[in-house]
Chains A and B, each alone.
Chain A
């Protein structure tokens, strides 16, 4: 009995100092984080629209408040919504029963990452264009 205890080499995982989340769980928690972040972003959306509906004075206050950090917030919004959008499509695919095996799910994950980068780049480029003009 005691001999067996020492001879069996059980894996010491997860080894927290070297453990890194694999791609799929990392993307899963990212979907949540971006989702919660986007939900908080509705505060700004509601303020923006309410300021527009109230009048030029209220809009000036909103604009002044948004001037220093608004661009950064918008950048974060675009990157977050791009990820949630692309990964959400993968979730919808999963719901149909496809790409549920580890290999295909991971492959779909790389597609999502590629789509996310492309979509983010397009959005940021468009935003930069409209910012400049």
Chain B
């Protein structure tokens, strides 16, 4: 094997490479991971402290500026992180290009819908 074969050369990956987004996917996966290192523990505290609480208490807590902010930011970071992660899993296990693209679009669409439902619900509780 010649050296040219093992060198990941910038020469051949012109512009942003074949995916046309450079290292964005990798980088954003890490960035969202770092955000979740802070947000996930806070979200776990929020969920656990609401175990067994009634409607009014739960709605008031998620409607508060701090916990509402935690929930909203957690939703932004986690749904984004989930989308990036699921995309890699799909790309690894679905070989057929049409099926792969369809699955990625379906998963992305589903996560956008779920993320909007979750995020807007939190905003509604905060603004209520």
B48 with A123: CB separation less than 8 A: yes
A81 with B52: CB separation less than 8 A: no
Known: A35-B85, A81-B44. A42 touches B51 (CB 8 A): no
Residues of B near A95 (CB, < 8 A) are 30
Question: In this assembly, does B58 line the interface, its C-beta being within 8 Å of a C-beta of chain A?
Answer: yes
Residues of B that sit less than 8 Å from A by CB: 30, 33-34, 36-37, 40-41, 44, 47-52, 55-56, 58-59, 62, 71, 75, 78-79, 82, 85-86, 89, 111, 114-115, 117-118, 120-122, 124-125
Q: Interface SS of chain A: helix, strand, loop or mixed?
A: helix
Checking B75, B114, B115, B125 against A52 with a beta-carbon cut-off of 8 angstroms, the contacting residue is B125
Residues of A near B71 (CB, < 8 A) are 49
Known: A74-B51, A130-B52. A46 touches B118 (CB 8 A): yes
A42 with B121: CB separation less than 8 A: no
Question: In this assembly, does A56 line the interface, its C-beta being within 8 Å of a C-beta of chain B?
Answer: yes
Residues of B near A32 (CB, < 8 A) are 89
Residues of A near B111 (CB, < 8 A) are 39, 42
Shortest CB-to-CB span from B66 to chain A, Å, is 16
Question: In this assembly, does A8 line the interface, its C-beta being within 8 Å of a C-beta of chain B?
Answer: no
